[in-house]
């Protein structure tokens, strides 16, 4: 199982319009592909205003690549994509994570919200870590329960992230 994440940042002066365009884009993708995208807004106090995340979980990376390639060929996708992109700033960040061996089918980071901690492998200890396959070299990520404290030594910054996300799509 793999988790794909696309991080984007909405222009600070256009957050409401950007959220609307992002949700419309994900709904459009869901209606025409098998990607089953989820949309999230960063809600922790450290997150940059307008930080958003699109994610999907799948079993076969070749299938995922073929589905994304098919999406790019759909005639009506360009205007939907461009409408959302026009409200974004900076460069998108793409990350792909391989699940720990015992991850059950149907796993998700959370129904309505989740926390994601990301850092170097040596901080993981006994936590089941998702190993980076693309986009966050030499890092691992895990999804602690809401009441679980962060791993000792993990501090947001210097390549480590402690993020909280709320579902918007």
pLDDT at 89: 95
Q: What is the pLDDT of residue 153?
A: 58
pLDDT of residue 150: 64
Confidence (pLDDT) at 134: 93
| pLDDT at residue number 161 | 86
Position 80 scores a pLDDT of: 95
CA-to-CA distance for 36 and 58, rounded, in angstroms? 9
What values do phi and psi take at 162, rounded to 5? Answer: -125, 110
- Bridge-based pairing of strands 161-167 and 113-120 is antiparallel
Find the DSSP H helices in 45-161: 61-73, 77-85
Sequence length of the chain is: 169
Q: What is the pLDDT, as a whole number, of residue 154?
A: 64
Give the contacts of 83 (CB within 8 A, at least 6 positions apart).
21, 24, 25
Q: Which fold has domain 2-103+111-167?
A: Alpha-Beta Plaits (3.30.70)
Chunked mean pLDDT (size 10), the chain, 169 residues:
96 96 97 97 84 96 97 95 95 95 91 89 73 89 75 65 92
Predicted pLDDT of residue 146: 67
């Amino acid at each position: 199982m793999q988790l794909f994440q696309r991080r984007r940042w909405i222009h600070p002066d256009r957050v409401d319009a950007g959220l609307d365009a992002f949700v419309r884009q994900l709904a459009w993708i869901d209606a025409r592909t098998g990607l089953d995208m989820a949309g999230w807004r960063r809600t922790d106090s450290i997150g940059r205003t307008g930080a958003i995340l699109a994610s999907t979980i799948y079993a076969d990376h070749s299938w995922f690549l073929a589905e994304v390639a098919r999406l790019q060929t759909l005639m009506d996708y360009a205007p939907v994509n461009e409408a959302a992109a026009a409200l974004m700033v900076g460069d998108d960040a793409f990350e792909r994570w391989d699940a720990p061996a015992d991850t059950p089918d149907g796993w998700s980071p959370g129904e309505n919200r989740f926390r994601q901690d990301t850092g170097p492998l040596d901080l993981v200890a006994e936590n089941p870590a998702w190993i980076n396959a693309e986009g966050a070299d030499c890092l691992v990520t895990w999804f602690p329960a809401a009441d679980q404290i962060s791993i000792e030594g993990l501090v947001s910054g210097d390549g480590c992230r402690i993020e909280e996300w709320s579902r918007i799509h």
